[in-house]
Chain A
Amino acid sequence: MEAMLVDCVHNSLRHFVYKNAIFMCERLCAEFPSEVNLQLLATSYLQNNQAYSAYHLLKGTQMAQSRYLFALSCFQMDLLNEAESALCPVNEPGAEIPNGAAGHYLLGLIYKYTDRRKNAAQQFKQSLTIDPLLWSAYEELCILGAAEEAIAVFGETAALSIQKQYMQQLSTSLGLNTYNEERNLTSTKTTNSEDYSPRQSKHTHGHGLKDISGNFHSHGLNGGASNMTFYNTPSPVAAQLSGMAPPPLFRNFQPAVPNQNSLTTDSSPKSTVNSTIQAPRRKFVDEGKLRKISGRLFSDSGPRRSSRLSTDSGANTNASVATVSGNGNNTSKYLGGSKLSSLALRSVTLRKGHSWANENIIEGVRGEPFDDSRPNTASTTGSMSSTDAKSCDQDDETMSVGGTSLSVQRITIGVSEILCLLRTLGEGCRLSYMYRCQEALDTYMKLPHKHYNTGWVLSQVGKAYFELIDYLEAEKAFRLARQASPYSLEGMDIYSTVLYHLKEDMKLSYLAQELISTDRLAPQSWCAMGNCYSLQKDHETALKNFLRAVQLNPRFAYAHTLCGHEYTTLEDFENGMKSYQNALRVDTRHYNAWYGLGMIYLRQEKLEFSEHHFRMAFLINPSSSVIMSYLGTALHALKRSEEGIEIMEQAILADRKNPLPMYQKANILVCLERLDEALEVLEELKEYAPSESSVYALMGRIYKRRNMHDKAMLHFGLALDMKPPATDVAAIKAAMEKLHVPDEIDESP
């Protein structure tokens, strides 16, 4: 009865019928109280967004998977302390972090939100070593500014470790196919080629890949074959196999399956497979499915593929832990075009098109072998046999463990392709968070078109252009991003800011409306709405919208910054400072908040503070000419005008299109009485921006100082022609009146 109930629960979860799942699970727990069943109930609650139920259920449990689920519920309920103590208990400092990569990732997030950035970075790094395909961990590292180069992270070691994982999966599925008793399965898997002594020492416990890394360097073929030895199948594995008969399983299949790569044909072996090993495999498969679904629904945490691997609950345990060989070296010899890798690729390419950030890809890739679309698994086995047949021209090595060797090769190819992709994306991501935007853009250009034209990449490109202050290009990129994935909200807040800068109120209000109708509960939608009102100078409403965004997600730094901007415009400096500081609390590397604080201090004439904050912003984003020009202004105000001019020069070089540093430089020069130089600069500026009244006004002032009254009049007149706002008109007219009166001292800003 227990098995039936468990099945039923899994079924319901798979079909997203949560109420049924919860109900059935309660019966299950009542009838057969066990921690595993408790975990299942907790999972059902978590799927149904009832983290609080899961929390109370799992309080105090000790099993690794329970601790992980408990920590997850605590995290969702914002009880970070408890989450942390669940993941790494205080009295057991050496305890294993449950669920390997995913556990480390969760712990990293907890550290990040409790302000322990170094620890967070450590955890993310560890998570990546365990599971190099946990992209979220890498992204978090980039945000913290602590990421290593993508080539290092997604490089050789990563490739090998992923292959290992796949080998496990492979051998698992094989193992399950032939042998019921899972415990022995793992114990017999070996990674040695020469001596395929079954590693009985290898425990079956779900301690993740840590142990596997120990066997990493063996060259043999996957242990999948070796486990066959245990099961009375005549195929011991050796690296240079010759004439090893494939395990009886495959032999069964071989006649049935002529070689092709179509899934349909594989259904025949599938049926045979199914009939024999229905029960245990189903449980195994369902478990995998369960986790796949649960992984998908947690938008925050990355794929818990490793949870599948390293959990110690259910049938999966043993399977996952199977030791795996580092087959990299050998498999290169084998024929390519293996189905597994093509499957992997296919799922990768399919899903990469959408929400790449969702890591469904990984899910998909990993999930393939476990899918309820049995064809996959079967096809693996089937293809193994098919490739068996195919590889007749190969040495017998390929024949060895049936297609496992070939699937190994597919694995390698798949892995290398994934990693190649991840390398480019990772490098791009890292560079864009380091604000080396031009390099980031170049890196993204290297992506194949089908990946470039996806929502995530395009919005990253848009972000990069935004940081380079190239708003037109940014707008283009974001527009394409919206076309590519119209329902994704990632990066749309930046898009709204771009439209704000370009003063496109129609487009901005349209965007805001669309976003709100897509998702009323996302902070990005309200940020866009707020930007819309702010553009129309209705700052009070804009502020309300931004506060709403903050309420919806207090961990969204940009919403805080935008609040700060509105407060500053409304001259409520105290609240503005608080908002900026909140933003910084969420993300120290959010240079806009540093800039905002600098601006407030500049207005309040607290010049030292202002200079410090602009400098912090500059350190984070050294290529922004706007920050540099404000830093220069602050320095000039502090009477360190020479340094100010230096920075202005830097700013001018950094971005030739930005007229501001030139204007500020002229300002400083005027104050330093270097009037000729100032005039030169202004003449240049005149060419660039012929309709800018402030340029003429300043020139008029200089000419007045020089007593060149005609020119002064001319320029003042020109300045007035450009329709400056009333204050300026008054100031200019006043200056015109006093032309023939000696200069007053209080004319400077």
Chain B
Amino acid sequence: MATESSESEEEGKIRGGNDKLIVDDDLREMSKNAAWSVSSSKPGNGVNTLRDDNLETYWQSDGLQPHLINIQFQKKVKLQLVVLYVDFKLDESYTPSKISIRAGDGFHNLKEIKSVELVKPTGWVCVSLSGTDPREFFVNTFMLQIAILSNHLNGRDTHIRQIKVYGPRPNPIPRQPFHFTSMEFLTYSTLR
């Protein structure tokens, strides 16, 4: 599970953020197998800045709200965590405030699965996609859409510096129903 992002008393509000990104070991980044697109962007601040591992560069939208970031996978994948790097101190009115995360098979049947409000975030903000139900720990979907509904100080456009999406590690042993946990099994489970 993702680590300490200070939840405030209200449900769905996230204050602050982390300087360092620390994610659980059994999660891994899924973004490589995805196609990323945005609803609009200013020239020079395009979608690639979201994936360049550089916190200096940012994506700047250039249109009407809601601003959309679309992440499409080639096949259904299990996702657990979305992490954004936003900084109120640097971006002020460009900092997103209300975010809605939607999932579905394509543009036609996206459904909101999570909604959060950021309050003056300053770093990595982790948004877990799990539902309350233990069975819905992961979201199994073709497509994820991150919608910026509003910004701080009512800004029109938004800046986001980096986005990462996490899902579970696949079973190292293919065609196995469960993971192996004990040393005896793990030692014998693969050749190297």
> A-side interface residues toward B, CB under 8 Å?
469, 471, 497, 500-503, 537, 562, 565, 569, 571, 592, 595, 599, 602-603, 624-627, 633, 637, 657-660, 663, 667, 688-689, 691-694, 697-698, 701, 719, 722-731, 733-734, 737, 748-749
Q: CB of B106 within 8 A of chain A?
A: no
Q: Which residue of B lies closest to A735 (CB)?
A: B135
Q: CB of B9 within 8 A of chain A?
A: no
Residues A724 and B181 in contact in the complex (CB < 8 Å), given A469-B188, A602-B175, A749-B176: yes
Which among A626, A689, A697 is the interface contact of B191 at CB below 8 angstroms? A626
Residues A500 and B192 in contact in the complex (CB < 8 Å), given A599-B174, A633-B175, A697-B178: yes
Which among A571, A637, A694, A749 is the interface contact of B185 at CB below 8 angstroms? A694
Smallest CB-CB A-B distances: 3 pairs: A694-B178, A730-B137, A692-B182
Which among B80, B174, B179, B187 is the interface contact of A724 at CB below 8 angstroms? B179
B178–A698 CB distance below 8 A: yes
CB distance from A681 to the nearest CB of B (A): 14
CB distance from A382 to the nearest CB of B (A): 57
B181–A691 CB distance below 8 A: yes
B137–A725 CB distance below 8 A: no
Contacts of A667 in B (CB 8 A): 176-177
Q: CB of B36 within 8 A of chain A?
A: no
> In whole angstroms, what is the CA distance A697 to B185 when docked?
14
> In whole angstroms, what is the CA distance A550 to B171 when docked?
28
Given contacts A726-B1, A727-B168, 4 further A-B contacts (CB under 8 A): A469-B188, A592-B191, A689-B185, A692-B182
B175–A637 CB distance below 8 A: yes
Which among B135, B168, B170, B190 is the interface contact of A734 at CB below 8 angstroms? B135
Contacts of A537 in B (CB 8 A): 25
Q: Which residue of B lies closest to A749 (CB)?
A: B177
Q: CB of B180 within 8 A of chain A?
A: yes
> In whole angstroms, what is the CA distance A372 to B122 when docked?
77
Contacts of B187 in A (CB 8 A): 469, 471, 501-502
A733–B192 CB distance below 8 A: no
Residues A697 and B177 in contact in the complex (CB < 8 Å), given A569-B172, A726-B26, A727-B138: yes
Contacts of B182 in A (CB 8 A): 689, 691-693, 722
CB distance from A133 to the nearest CB of B (A): 35
Q: Which residue of B lies closest to A602 (CB)?
A: B174
Contacts of B26 in A (CB 8 A): 725-727
> In whole angstroms, what is the CA distance A741 to B188 when docked?
35
Q: Which residue of A lies closest to B27 (CB)?
A: A726
Contacts of A692 in B (CB 8 A): 180-182, 184-185
Q: Which residue of A lies closest to B170 (CB)?
A: A571
Contacts of A749 in B (CB 8 A): 175-177
Contacts of B135 in A (CB 8 A): 730, 733-734, 737
B188–A659 CB distance below 8 A: yes
Which among A562, A571, A730 is the interface contact of B192 at CB below 8 angstroms? A562
> In whole angstroms, what is the CA distance A619 to B177 when docked?
28
B184–A730 CB distance below 8 A: no
> In whole angstroms, what is the CA distance A698 to B180 when docked?
12
Q: Which residue of B lies closest to A600 (CB)?
A: B174
Q: Which residue of B lies closest to A607 (CB)?
A: B175
Q: CB of B43 within 8 A of chain A?
A: no
> In whole angstroms, what is the CA distance A731 to B137 when docked?
9
> In whole angstroms, what is the CA distance A701 to B158 when docked?
49
Q: CB of B189 within 8 A of chain A?
A: yes
> In whole angstroms, what is the CA distance A693 to B181 when docked?
6
Q: Which residue of A lies closest to B175 (CB)?
A: A749
Contacts of B177 in A (CB 8 A): 667, 694, 697-698, 701, 731, 748-749
> In whole angstroms, what is the CA distance A638 to B22 when docked?
41
> In whole angstroms, what is the CA distance A667 to B179 when docked?
13
Q: Which residue of A lies closest to B183 (CB)?
A: A503
- Among A592, A691, A730, A737, max chain B CB count under 10 A is at A730
Residues A658 and B188 in contact in the complex (CB < 8 Å), given A733-B135, A749-B175: yes
Contacts of A659 in B (CB 8 A): 184-185, 188
Contacts of B168 in A (CB 8 A): 725-727
> In whole angstroms, what is the CA distance A748 to B170 when docked?
16
Contacts of A627 in B (CB 8 A): 191
Q: Which residue of A lies closest to B169 (CB)?
A: A725
Annotate B47-90 by CB proximity to A: 1 below 8 A, 0 otherwise.
00000000000000000000000000000001010000000000
A694–B180 CB distance below 8 A: yes
Contacts of B175 in A (CB 8 A): 602, 633, 637, 749
Contacts of B191 in A (CB 8 A): 592, 595, 624, 626-627
Residues A694 and B181 in contact in the complex (CB < 8 Å), given A537-B25, A633-B175, A737-B135: yes
23 contacts between A and B (CB under 8 A): A469-B188, A569-B172, A571-B170, A592-B191, A599-B174, A599-B190, A626-B188, A626-B191, A637-B175, A660-B189, A691-B181, A692-B180, A693-B181, A694-B178, A694-B185, A698-B177, A698-B178, A725-B168, A725-B179, A726-B80, A726-B137, A730-B134, A749-B177
Contacts of B176 in A (CB 8 A): 667, 694, 749
Contacts of A697 in B (CB 8 A): 177-178
Annotate B120-139 by CB proximity to A: 1 below 8 A, 0 otherwise.
00000000000000110110
> In whole angstroms, what is the CA distance A660 to B188 when docked?
7
CB distance from A356 to the nearest CB of B (A): 27
Contacts of A592 in B (CB 8 A): 191-192
> In whole angstroms, what is the CA distance A603 to B168 when docked?
16
Contacts of A503 in B (CB 8 A): 183
A603–B184 CB distance below 8 A: no
- Among A625, A726, A731, max chain B CB count under 10 A is at A726
Which among B137, B171, B174, B183 is the interface contact of A729 at CB below 8 angstroms? B137
CB distance from B192 to the nearest CB of A (A): 5
Q: Which residue of A lies closest to B137 (CB)?
A: A730
CB distance from B168 to the nearest CB of A (A): 5
Contacts of B174 in A (CB 8 A): 599, 602-603
CB distance from B150 to the nearest CB of A (A): 33
Contacts of A731 in B (CB 8 A): 177-178
Q: Which residue of A lies closest to B24 (CB)?
A: A726
> In whole angstroms, what is the CA distance A627 to B188 when docked?
10
Which among A657, A658, A693 is the interface contact of B178 at CB below 8 angstroms? A693
Q: Which residue of B lies closest to A617 (CB)?
A: B191
Contacts of A737 in B (CB 8 A): 134-135
Contacts of B184 in A (CB 8 A): 657, 659, 688-689, 692
Contacts of A729 in B (CB 8 A): 134, 137
Q: Which residue of B lies closest to A502 (CB)?
A: B187
Contacts of B25 in A (CB 8 A): 537
Residues A728 and B179 in contact in the complex (CB < 8 Å), given A692-B184, A737-B135: yes
Contacts of A633 in B (CB 8 A): 175
Contacts of A726 in B (CB 8 A): 1, 24, 26-27, 80, 137-138, 168
CB distance from A334 to the nearest CB of B (A): 55
CB distance from A657 to the nearest CB of B (A): 8
Contacts of A733 in B (CB 8 A): 134-135
B178–A728 CB distance below 8 A: yes
- Among B168, B178, B183, B190, max chain A CB count under 10 A is at B178
> In whole angstroms, what is the CA distance A748 to B175 when docked?
9
B148-173 residues at the A interface, CB under 8 angstroms: 168-172
Q: Which residue of A lies closest to B1 (CB)?
A: A726
